[in-house]
Amino acid sequence: MRAMVYRGPYRVRVEEKDRPAIEHPNDAIVRVTRAAICGSDLHLYHGLMPDTRVGMTFGHEFVGVVDEVGSSVQNLKAGDRVMVPFNIFCGTCYFCARGLYSNCHNVNPNATAVGGIYGYSHTSGGYDGGQSEFVRVPFADVGPSLIPDWMDEDDAVLLTDALATGYFGAQLGDIVEGDVVVVFGAGPVGLYAAKSAWLMGAGRVIVIDHLEYRLAKAREFAHAETYNFTEYDDIVVHLKKITEYLGADVAIDAVGAEADGNFLQHVAAAKLKLQGGSPVALNWAIDGVRKGGTISVMGAYGPLFSAIKFGDAMNKGLTLRMNQCPVKRQWPRLFEHVKNGYLKPSDIVTHRIPLEHIAEGYHIFSAKLDGCIKPLIVPSAS
Amino acid sequence: MTYTPEKPKTGESSDVLRARIPGWGVDLDPADRPSVPRERFDPTFSGAWWEFPERQPEKYPRERSIEHKFLTPVFGTSCPPKGVSGAIRRLAYRRYSEGRAAHWLLLMAADRVDATGSTLRSFASRHPDNPLTETGVLSEISHHGLSSRLGEKRADLMHQPLDPIIVAAPWVLAGGVAYALGKRVLRRRRARA
């Protein structure tokens, strides 16, 4: 089969690989019909996540058709159209039993601090991902769901991570009616978080980024008020000014490990790998939110230490909330929102790239060329 | 205002927002939010019909965190550790917990050894690495590389020039190693002659 493989920092290519095999009785093999490149894939692509091995196939956002099922699978059969959450989870460990599917303890031998994620280094369990023609899907009876007949495939693939994560990020903000919500980052997760904040009753939604075309999307798609941080000497002071010097009630970090805005922080983290992530957006969130406010962290960071301003967070009495999104728990409610027309995930898709051209796809997304917001990957077999 | 009891009014009223934004407030009640409360005990909700899953066969000694009691019942089988990078990875897993910086720094070192070694090995294969196609840099021409940057106030333009250095590092390193080895072989041959 054809699959994307990692060759080293900033280098990927498409190779012929063995079709994945059933490794466990509850596995399924899914023929991928649509995948996506996630902003967090760029952390792998840039060599920022430890234990990213040459030869691994990335991709934790994908949908497809069941091609084969293991002997114990009861809920799926060959030919079913399925959407697969980015979390790999068993459904019954201590954490899954409490709905924390992203923290499953039975699927990642490499680390206890993170659950299993498709195509996201061995730190997340060493599973190949869906930027390929076929993918192994463990725990087929609990992870995948049938794609509803009325749902578009492009919408379905975005529900496997980006939309669910943005919506989850807004939930972690504990938004109450009239709250001022500031979202750092106008990428896919930030756009969805901003849009979701309105559903939860926000009174004002502010999005901050440095890419004008993404800020334009935030105004159009998420009805947000936007600011380009490169136009301000100090974006935190500006945030205070526009909130009558109170600060936002809720701040959402939708940027993560490669945040821009401070050259030294960015280079130390993203280029020299001297810290787990560039905490620029997170520190702006800490300083820009009001005392007693809430910060929701959706951006992905590496497991190494980062220079985060915990002193300010403590002195301000902030609540810091964060987790990888337990995707499947969000789906019933999100399906309703998509069906009712409150959310149209595929509105942010800018590029559809054939699998064979995936190296160009990564570069376009990474270098922010051509107005790229969300690239989808189309395997040739589909 | 902020210096007095009432919250400053800086946004539109709820009625105006409800009329302007489709779906405004439909999840206002926390009971409608799927992850509220954060933990909700229900082992059957996921659809799983086991208490502890059947174990996946271990076909090679699978590295695992020493913070785990045992190998998890299910695990990924992509890219088993091999060669020098594999030895470094096994050491990182065997010796250091996730709480130790050494664990992660060793894994990062192994990643670099893996990338450099794989590039070198690729030259002896039918599919040598090609930085032009693998970096996707040709899309700079086909996807408006110049106009995407010119005249834009983009913070990333400051550090993007560093990217080619990161990409080139293993190639320069590999070239240096090849040069040093070649020089040594030539010296030995001359000494024998």
* Predicted ipTM of the assembly: 0.96
Residue B172 lies in a domain: no
Reduced to 3 DSSP states, what percent helix, strand and coil does chain B have, rounded to the nearest 5?
Answer: 45, 0, 55
A2-161+326-378 CATH: 3.90.180.10
Chain A residues with beta carbon closer than 8 angstroms to that of B90: none
Angle, helices B101-122/B83-95, rounded to nearest 10 degrees? 170
Kindly state the DSSP code that residue B60 receives in the 8-state scheme: S
Please tell me the predicted confidence (pLDDT) of residue A241: 97
* B129, part of any domain: no
Sheet containing A319-322: order of strands? A225-228, A204-209, A180-184, A248-253, A289-297, A319-322
**pLDDT for res A179:** 97
Q: What pLDDT is stored for residue A381 in this prediction?
A: 55
**B133-180 per-position pLDDT tens digit:** 999 999 999 999 999 999 888 999 999 998 888 778 767 877 888 899
> Average pLDDT of each block of 10 consecutive residues along chain A (382 residues)?
97 97 98 98 97 98 98 97 98 97 98 98 98 98 98 97 98 98 98 98 98 98 98 97 97 96 92 93 98 97 94 98 98 98 98 98 97 95 53
CA nearest A113 in B: which residue? B98
Q: Do residue A180 and residue B11 have CB atoms under 8 angstroms apart?
A: yes
| C-alpha span between B83 and B72 (Å, rounded) | 25
The domain A164-322 is classified under which CATH number: 3.30.2270.10, 3.40.50.720, 3.40.605.10, 3.40.50.12780?
3.40.50.720
Domain ranges of chain A: 2-161+326-378, 164-322
CA dihedral sign, ordered A324, A326, A331, A337: negative
Q: Which residue of A has its CA nearest to B158?
A: A263
Instruction: Check residue A378 and give its pLDDT.
Output: 96
Best of A17, A231, A360, A365 to mutate (most B CBs within 10 Å, chain B): A360
Quote the DSSP letter at residue A132.
B
Distance of CA A323 to the CA centre of its chain: 11
Residues of chain B contacting A168 with CB distance shorter than 8 Å: 35
What is the per-residue pLDDT across B7-57, written as a single tens digit (0 to 9) for each? 988 789 999 999 999 999 999 999 999 999 999 999 888 999 999 999 999
pLDDT for B168 equals 82
CA distances from B84 to A193, A284, B111, B114 (A): 43, 41, 10, 8
Residue B71 has pLDDT above 80, yes or no: yes
Q: What is the pTM of this model?
A: 0.95
pLDDT digits over B75-126, tens only?
999 999 999 999 999 999 999 999 999 999 999 999 999 999 999 899 999 9
Tell me the residue range of the domain where B120 lies: 61-72+80-124
Task: Give chain B's domain count.
Answer: 1
Domain assignment of residue B117, yes or no: yes
Chain B residues touching A329 at Cβ < 8 A: 34-35
